[in-house]
């Protein structure tokens, strides 16, 4: 699905950006020791680009992180309030009901429509594209789009192919109607999926096909599984193709892009995609070294990164692209937002009042790569 460049007077504009990260920083050696993994810090850094990630404390849920990120985005946006909430996640608080209504309730948003969207690591960009279409179509005026995941709750800590890669976190944007010439304006989107690869990234047990109440044939089927090498090839191909499609529909030449943000899956994947697109290193942004792969949260966490925010000029032509389980992929061409990102710590309880004073960088080492 493609949306062409916004030629009319109206599109969705990012008016607020928020992030929520668990405070616990976990280095590679700690992940290795915890799982008894046959690997080392050098392998993980060289093959993935990851040095640290955040792990949520036991008891901290995806919904908790989503509330923190949503609250931070609302603070960033000032007085604006959303009339719809989309939560992109593949690690919901429970199988039923969706996590989004409880997040909306905890944010004090009343009875606005709120729903979960499952496109795994492409989920945030699926949500951004969906909310943009709803705003352009006047189904809603403002929307809060949150990407949140706690992969530590589904990854097998003894699996060396996945345990070092994933971290926990949440990021969010508040969208309002605006014009295509504004900073933060969404210009074009590209979405796609290929279900023939649905078994390449999966938690096999616990759904309607293999119900939770029946014992799995293989106990490992309760955990997240990824066929890394195959996924790697799909990720490079589909992100490159999708990003080019979004650029085409925006009517932008690649060499006019000033900020490229790919899903933070693997530094080598990001380098390959950016090289194939022809994006110069100075225009590539990410934080995989510090946060690892945070699934649906990874792209909004780059948008919300204070160091990135200080580097990219508001209004700069920007290209976001993601790939994930499903298989799914998504890309968005937009003007870099001017909204100042905010960060919140995970809320400690349902009644916690907003702490509007918190706004601190988490990645002093964040760089262009």
Active site residues: 121, 263, 293
Burial of 232 (0-12, 13-18, 19+ CB in 10 A): middle
Measured distance CA(3)–CA(239) in Å, rounded: 17
Q: Residue 38 CB, nearest distance to ligand UT7 (Å)?
A: 7
Q: Sign of the C-alpha dihedral, residues 352, 355, 356, 359?
A: negative
Residue with tokens 């640290």: 52
Q: Residue 158 CB, nearest distance to ligand UT7 (Å)?
A: 12
Residue with tokens 């650029």: 247
Q: Using CB under 6 A, which of 118, 146, 186, 235 touches ligand UT7?
A: 235
User: How many positions of this chain bind ligand UT7 (CB under 6 A)?
Assistant: 20
Measured distance CA(354)–CA(351) in Å, rounded: 9
C-beta separation of 184 from 15 below 8 A: yes
Interface of this chain with ligand UT7, residues 120 to 139, rule: CB under 6 A: 121
Q: Residue 243 CB, nearest distance to ligand UT7 (Å)?
A: 15
Interface of this chain with ligand UT7, residues 168 to 227, rule: CB under 6 A: none
Q: Using CB under 6 A, which of 60, 61, 240, 293 touches ligand UT7?
A: 293
Burial of 241 (0-12, 13-18, 19+ CB in 10 A): middle
Stretch that binds ligand UT7, among 10-18, 73-81, 181-189, 264-272 (CB under 6 A): 264-272
Stretch that binds ligand UT7, among 15-23, 42-50, 108-116, 215-223 (CB under 6 A): 42-50
Q: Which candidate, 308, 75, 39, places its Cα nearest to that of 162? A: 39
Full DSSP string of 55-104: -PPTT--HHHHHHHHHHHHHHHHTT---S-EEEE-SS-SSSSS-SHHHHH
Interface of this chain with ligand UT7, residues 269 to 288, rule: CB under 6 A: 269
- Under the binding rule (CB under 6 A), the answer on residue 299 touching ligand UT7 is no
Q: Using CB under 6 A, which of 161, 182, 271, 355 touches ligand UT7?
A: 161
Q: What are phi and psi of 100, to 5 degrees?
A: -60, -45
In this complex, which beta carbon is closest to ligand UT7, that of residue 265 or of residue 299?
Answer: 265
Stretch that binds ligand UT7, among 38-46, 94-102, 274-282, 358-366 (CB under 6 A): 38-46
Which residues form the interface with ligand UT7 (CB under 6 A)?
39, 43-44, 47-48, 121, 160-161, 164, 228-229, 231-232, 235, 265-266, 269, 293, 323-324
């Amino acid at each position: 699905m493609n949306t062409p460049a916004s030629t009319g007077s109206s599109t969705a504009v990012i008016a607020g950006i928020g992030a929520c990260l668990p405070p616990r920083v976990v280095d590679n050696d700690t992940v290795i020791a915890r799982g008894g993994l046959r690997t080392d810090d050098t392998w993980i850094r060289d093959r993935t680009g990851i040095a640290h990630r955040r792990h949520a404390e036991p008891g901290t849920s995806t919904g908790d992180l989503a509330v923190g990120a949503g609250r931070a985005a609302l603070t960033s946006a000032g007085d604006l309030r959303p009339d719809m909430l989309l939560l992109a996640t593949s690690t919901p608080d429970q199988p039923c009901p969706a996590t989004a209504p409880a997040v909306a309730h905890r944010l004090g948003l009343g009875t606005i429509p709120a729903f979960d969207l499952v496109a795994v690591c492409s989920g945030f960009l699926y949500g951004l594209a969906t909310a943009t279409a709803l705003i352009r179509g006047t189904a809603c005026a403002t929307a809060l789009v949150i990407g949140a995941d706690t992969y530590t709750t589904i990854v097998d800590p003894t699996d060396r192919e996945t345990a070092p890669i994933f971290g926990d976190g949440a990021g969010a944007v508040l969208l309002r109607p605006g014009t295509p010439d504004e900073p933060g304006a969404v210009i074009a989107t590209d979405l796609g999926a290929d279900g023939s690869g649905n078994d390449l990234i999966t938690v096999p047990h616990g759904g309607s096909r293999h119900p939770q109440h029946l014992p799995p044939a293989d106990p490992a089927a309760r955990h997240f599984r990824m066929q890394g090498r195959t996924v790697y090839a799909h990720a490079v191909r589909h992100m490159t193709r999708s990003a080019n499609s979004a650029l085409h529909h925006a009517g932008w030449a690649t060499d006019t892009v000033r900020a490229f943000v790919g899903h933070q899956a693997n530094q080598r994947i990001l380098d390959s995609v950016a090289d194939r697109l022809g994006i110069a290193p100075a225009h590539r942004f990410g934080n995989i070294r510090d946060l690892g792969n945070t699934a649906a949260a990874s792209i909004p966490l780059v948008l919300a990164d204070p160091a990135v925010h200080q580097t990219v000029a508001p209004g700069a032509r920007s290209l976001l692209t993601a790939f994930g389980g499903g298989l799914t992929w998504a890309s968005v061409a937009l003007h870099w937002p001017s909204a100042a990102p905010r960060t919140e710590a995970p809320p400690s309880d349902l009644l916690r009042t907003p702490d509007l004073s918190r706004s601190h960088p988490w990645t002093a080492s964040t760089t262009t790569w």
